[in-house]
Structures are given as C-alpha cells and as structure tokens.
Structure 1
C-alpha cells in the first residue's frame, strides 16, 4: 500500500511540474484578455440613452 501511495504522489508532482507552467501562463492570458475586454467596454464611449422629449401641441 505504501508503494502505491508513493507512486501516486510522484505521478501527481510530475504532472504539476510538467503542466503547471502552461496552466499558469494560460490563466494569465485569460485574465489579460478579460481585463482588455472590460476596459474596452468601459471606454467604448457609449452615450446614455435619452428619454424622448414630450411632444408639444401647436396652439
């Protein structure tokens, strides 16, 4: 039983060492893209919708 646990632990640490940097890099890219999208939406220059002026009746 000890041997199986040790082998499992080695497999997990090896997978983290191999794929960890790629996962971190991917997360950073996703966060950067999210920030860019957020900034773009905030600075898109949309003007607030105007309420229609009441129509004046000719007297």
Structure 2
C-alpha cells in the first residue's frame, strides 16, 4: 500500500511541520558546507523553500 493510500485510510498520521523541520535542517547542513561564501540566512531561506516544495509534492498538491 502506498503512503498516499495509507493517509487516505487514516492508518498513518504524518506531522508535516516536523517533517518540514527535518528536511530543512538536512538541506541546510548540506548547503552550508557546499556554499561557504553564501550568507547563512540565504542558505536557511533556501532550505526552507526546498523543504516546502518537497512537502507539497509528498502531500500531492
């Protein structure tokens, strides 16, 4: 059964805000080491935007 089917059946609840945090944190850590010349706040903003895009795709919007 796919994740989408499980969600529709109510068998699995996902804390999307927690997932957003986890994804953004991971993206930030990867990008901060790759873009050492980029200001931290720009890297953080980009990480949040990327997390939002991924969450949107995972939720099927």
Greater RCO, CA 8 A, separation 6+ = 2
Q: TM-score, normalised by structure 2?
A: 0.36
Q: Which has the larger radius of gyration?
A: 1
